[in-house]
Amino acid sequence: MLKPLLPATILIVLVAGLPPCNAAADSFSREYMVKAGFIVNLIRFTTWPESKRPDPGEPFRIGICGSLPAARVVARALSGGRTVKGHVITVRIADLQDLLDSHLVFIAGPVSRGQQKLFPVLHDRSVLSVGEDDDFLSLGGIVNFSVVEHRLVLDINKAAADRSDLSLSARLLQVARTVVSSYRIPAPAEPARQR
């Protein structure tokens, strides 16, 4: 899985200004730095409901939970005063239940049972949930990262997004490998591309 990443990933890593590590660590870090970049971009293609988006001058809160090493890489990539949509990004690594007031949460690694239970809350609070578990969408997650042939691809649960009152850009849907219309549906055995 840890294969040399694409130039885009490298690009994102370089942009993040991460220092070089050992080869394995580099591969791991590079993967998550790319995922961090993807996360920021997801913010750009997503529109939050009026009440849930940050007021001007308020930071954009990103919560990271799950596998800690990954969380740290992502957190580090996202920190540093980066702005998106005119808001400074703040990153917090915590348990999911502590991250319910975030605008976006990244659940690194597989989703635990405990986290599964919080998904409806996330929906209610219009939190964009991003994960990297093959069942993430069927559990009610909105955007899931997966690496296919050294490329990071997106799968999107449109139904969950609708449920969360989040508006995903059509262009985002376009680049997604799979767009799932119902989050109750278990994770699909075969990925099917939809337009």
Partner 1 sequence: MNDSAKFSIKVKLVLLIVSVTTLAVMVAGLIFTIRDQNAARRELRKRLQGTAALIASNATAALTFNDRDTAAELLASVMANRHMHVAAIYDVKGRLFTFRKRASGDHAPRKLTGPSTGPEFENLIEATAPIRIDGRTIGTVMLMADLEALKQRTRELGANLLFATIVAMAVAVLLSITLQGVITTPLKELAEAMKRVRDRRDFSQKLKVDRRDEIGQLIEVFNDLLARLDEHERQAQRHRDNLEEEVAARTVDLERAKREAEAASRIKGEFLANMSHEIRTPLNAIIGMAGLAGKKELSPDLANYIRIINKSARSLLGTINDILDFSKIEAGRMEIESVDFRLSKVIGDVTSMFTEKAAEKGIEILVDISDTVPDVLCGDPMRLQQILVNLVGNAMKFTERGEIEIRAVRTEEDDSHCRLLFSVRDTGIGIPPDKRGSLFSAFTQADGSTSRRFGGTGLGLTISRKLVELMDGNIWVESETGKGSTFHFTAVFSLPDEKEDCTPDTVPDFTGKTVLLVEDNSSSRAVFKKMLESFGFGVVACQSGDEALKAAEDADAGFDIVIVDWMMPGMDGITLTGKLKEKNATAASPFLMITAFGRDVQRREARQAGIEHFLTKPIKRSDLYNAIVEIFSTSRPELFKVEESRPDRSLAGRRVLVVEDNNINRQVAKEILRSYDIICDTADNGAEAVKAVQRQHYDAILMDIQMPEVDGHEATRLIRRIPGMGRLPIIALTAHATVEDRERCLGNGMDDYITKPIDQEELIDCLRGWINGRDTARQTPHAAMPETADNDAGVDAPQLLPGLDVAEGLRRIGGKVEIYRRLLCAFAEEYRDIGPRVSELLEEGNMQKIHLLCHSLKGAAGNISAQTTCELADRICRAATSHDAEEIKRILPELAAAIEEVNAGVESWAAA
Helix axis angle, 7-16 relative to 23-44, nearest 10°? 90
CB of 120 to partner 1, least distance (A): 28
Task: Considering the complex, state which of residue 78 and residue 99 has its C-beta at the smaller distance from partner 1.
Answer: 78
Q: Is 38 in the site for partner 1 (CB under 8 A)?
A: yes
Q: Is 151 in the site for partner 1 (CB under 8 A)?
A: yes
Please list, residue by residue across 5-18, b when 16 or more beta carbons sit within 10 angstroms of its beta carbon and e when fewer do: bbeebeebbeebeb
# residues near partner 1 by CB under 8 A: 18
Strand partners, 144: 131, 155
CB of 31 to partner 1, least distance (A): 13
Contacts of 73 (CB under 8 A, 6+ apart): 18, 28, 29, 32, 33, 36
Q: What is the DSSP string of 139-188?
A: TT-SEEEEEETTEEEEEEEHHHHHHTT-EE-HHHHHH-SEEES-TTSPPP
Task: Considering the complex, state which of residue 113 and residue 190 has its C-beta at the smaller distance from partner 1.
Answer: 190
Return the residue of 2, 10, 27, 41 that touches partner 1, per CB under 8 A.
41
Q: Is 88 in the site for partner 1 (CB under 8 A)?
A: no
Q: Is 8 in the site for partner 1 (CB under 8 A)?
A: yes
Of 56-64, 65-73, 164-172, 181-189, the segment contacting partner 1 by CB under 8 A is 164-172
Return the residue of 16, 78, 96, 172 that touches partner 1, per CB under 8 A.
172
